[in-house]
């Protein structure tokens, strides 16, 4: 089940509130409007395996796992190079890495899931 885009972190909420209080505008990047949300319980089973491996520090099944994610698509909030890292979520029946990934940020619980090779992202909500 997909949930509508929403602000999920205190830092983003504070930025939005601050902009509104001073009569400014809120950009999509500030509000993370380009990113949806998915409940942890709604992830595919293979994503749990990937998240567990990330928590344990590996070992990972693919040599590309843990590589810096460049965010060339610009869907995730803009950050400095090296902020994001990507990990493969295995796709049953696929002979390749498939299109599913978890992309992590440096902040606590800033994990994103994509099922379509970076076209869209959902911030993983661990509280639902």
Long-range contacts of 24-33 (CB under 8 A, 24+ apart): 29/77, 29/78, 30/77, 31/5, 31/7, 32/5, 32/6, 32/7, 32/8, 32/77, 32/123, 33/5
> Is 73 a catalytic site residue?
no
> Is 117 a catalytic site residue?
yes
Q: Which of 55, 85, 86, 110 is flagged as catalytic?
A: 86
Task: Provide the annotated active-site residues.
Answer: 86, 117
């Amino acid at each position: 089940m997909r949930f509508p885009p929403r602000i999920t972190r205190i830092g983003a909420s504070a930025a939005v509130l601050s902009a509104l209080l001073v009569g400014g505008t809120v950009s999509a990047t500030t509000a993370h409007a380009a990113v949806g949300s998915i409940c942890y319980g709604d992830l595919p089973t293979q994503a749990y395996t990937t998240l567990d491996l990330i928590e344990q520090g590996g070992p990972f099944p693919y040599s590309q796992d843990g590589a810096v994610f460049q965010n060339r698509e610009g869907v995730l909030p803009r950050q400095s190079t090296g902020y994001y890292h990507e990990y493969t979520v295995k796709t049953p029946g696929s002979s390749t890495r498939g299109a599913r990934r978890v992309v992590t940020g440096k902040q606590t619980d800033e994990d994103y899931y994509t099922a379509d090779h970076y076209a869209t992202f959902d911030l993983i909500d661990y509280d639902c």
